[in-house]
Structure 1
Amino acid sequence: MTLAIDDPGSIGSVSDMLVIRSGVEFWPGVAAAMATAAWQGRRAPGGPLGRLADLTPLAMAGYGTYEAACLFRDGCYGPVSALGLRPDGLDVKMVPIGLLMAIGVFATAALARGLCRSGWPAGAVIAAGLAFIAITRSVASIWLPRLGSAPTRQHTTSVGVAVLAGGACLAAVRLGRRQPGAAAP
């Protein structure tokens, strides 16, 4: 996916593929995971959306755990600060943005679970979870290391997902209120 986004002409080049350090682009990976979970939940009692809504807080907690694991991966980077952690190989302390992201995602996962339990429509819970993560990623990307001064692809795609997911959440809540017998959030 990285090659398809950055340089589609390099897809056939093995040497170009070996340069890519990351595994999966985040948002296409989320979309693939959601499609897989929805497909597997097509016969579940609540259907595919009900299954995704039930999995949303758990998936968010899993992502939060990944961000907190910056302590064990390659370091918790962020802006230079007198207080903070010193990533391996650096002589300066940095605010651990990954840990702050984890705290934000864990808090919003608890909120998503509460929305699920309070009777929000499944689509609204899913969209809210996506929006929470997208907002967290877009804000955090401001302080993470980057090349140049322009916003990163992570930042711009996360802002786009936040806007789309926020709109989808509002639409799902409004539609859920209009349906007879639907619980009001």
Structure 2
Amino acid sequence: MKKSSQMQVSPQLMVDTPNIFCLVRGASEGRTRLNAFDNALLNAGVGDTNLMRMSSILPPGAEQCAIRDMDLPKGGLIPLAYATIDSTTPGRFISSAIAVGIPEDRSEPGVIMEFEDHSKLENVEAIARQMVVDAFNYRKRKLKEIKSIGIEHQVETCGATFAAAVLWYE
């Protein structure tokens, strides 16, 4: 049998482009770093899903909604861009932030930028927002607005923070 040099992909197997997004955040403590991360996911409302980390492009025309308005299937593969950080240093501040750039021309894609650091939220969120401005400048697109969300946590024993832009389907 002769092998084809190119893989054939059926259009029915392609994934639809998400048309809604929401911004979520969570922070928590846990016995281990993974437990702290899992608890932060639960706190953010996405703990019973499988995260599919993606690069940082917001689909054209995607509209913002609340996490409660998304019908996320338990155990489902959920596309999102996210920032997360953990620490086992008591007293240390950790922060995660996500910023979404909405273009003036809604037929163009937006951008999602994420940042995390051992720092206060004010600094982390400002960096994520500046990254959106830079990304629009690089693309030579006009920025209409930036939406951002972040979370700060002071570690007790083992803590984690998580901020994400969840993409889904209306």
TM-score with structure 1 setting the length: 0.26
Structure with larger RCO (C-alpha < 8 A, sep 6+): 2
- Structure whose alpha-carbon radius of gyration is higher: 1
TM-score with structure 2 setting the length: 0.28
> Higher strand proportion, which one?
2
